[in-house]
């Protein structure tokens, strides 16, 4: 028998997926969802099995961390029944964050800060809303603290990967320019020798001729 909490989370996930499909049709040019498009946050009283609804409850948990097998940035995430997420789900969350950050960097490269703590309010709200829309589990908390904590841990990895991609692209462009310059240099060079002819193999008793070289201008 399905309990009330499981039914509610399934219902909310269905609504979130429906909202995603509608927003992709009505807002095709939107990079990140607006606050109006973002799914509503859940009511704490409807999910009594959530252990860490507030950031304070997470910080006061002590050394009883049962999720050490998970990456540090996703250990605080839990399902509506209090179960921790799986490793696969953690990969999915990071992929969603990577895609959203890439889209934001294309839309406005200057909006991406050096550290996530320097993120502007619009960027912060937009990425958090995207995470809640794609994965309603991020909405099972107070004031988006679970999404913010996740992004604080993930952002340095994304930023390093982005810098490496840029450096690699610069090196490829430099190698391409060097190669093109070498080709142009070779094509414009004027050799002193235009043609070199080697005489046929002499018959027995004949003198071996020297290389017949015709220089430019002769």
Domain borders along the chain are: 4-171
Q: What percent of the chain has pLDDT over 70?
A: 56
Q: What is the pTM of this model?
A: 0.62
Task: Count the neighbouring beta carbons within 10 Å of the beta carbon of residue 37.
Answer: 17
Chain segment 71-128, per-residue pLDDT in tens: 989 999 999 999 999 999 999 999 999 999 999 999 988 889 989 999 999 999 999 9
């Amino acid at each position: 028998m399905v309990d009330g909490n499981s039914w509610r989370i399934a219902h909310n996930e269905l609504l979130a997926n429906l909202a995603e499909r509608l927003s992709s049709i009505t807002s095709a040019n939107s990079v990140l969802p607006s606050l109006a498009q973002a799914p509503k946050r859940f009511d704490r009283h409807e999910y009594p099995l959530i252990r860490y609804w507030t950031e304070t409850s997470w910080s006061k948990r002590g050394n009883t961390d049962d999720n050490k097998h998970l990456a540090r940035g996703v250990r605080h995430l839990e399902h509506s029944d209090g179960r921790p997420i799986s490793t696969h789900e953690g990969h999915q969350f990071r992929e969603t964050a990577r895609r959203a950050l890439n889209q934001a960097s294309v839309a406005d490269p200057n909006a991406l800060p050096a550290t996530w703590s320097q993120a502007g309010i619009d960027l912060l709200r937009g990425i958090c809303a995207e995470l809640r829309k794609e994965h309603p589990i991020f909405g099972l908390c107070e004031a988006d603290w679970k999404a913010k904590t996740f992004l604080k841990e993930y952002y340095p990895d994304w930023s390093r990967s982005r810098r490496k991609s840029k450096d690699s692209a610069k090196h490829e462009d430099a190698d391409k320019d060097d190669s093109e310059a070498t080709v142009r240099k070779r094509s414009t060079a004027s050799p002193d020798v235009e043609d070199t002819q080697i005489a046929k193999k002499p018959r027995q008793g004949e003198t071996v001729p020297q290389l017949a070289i015709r220089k430019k201008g002769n």
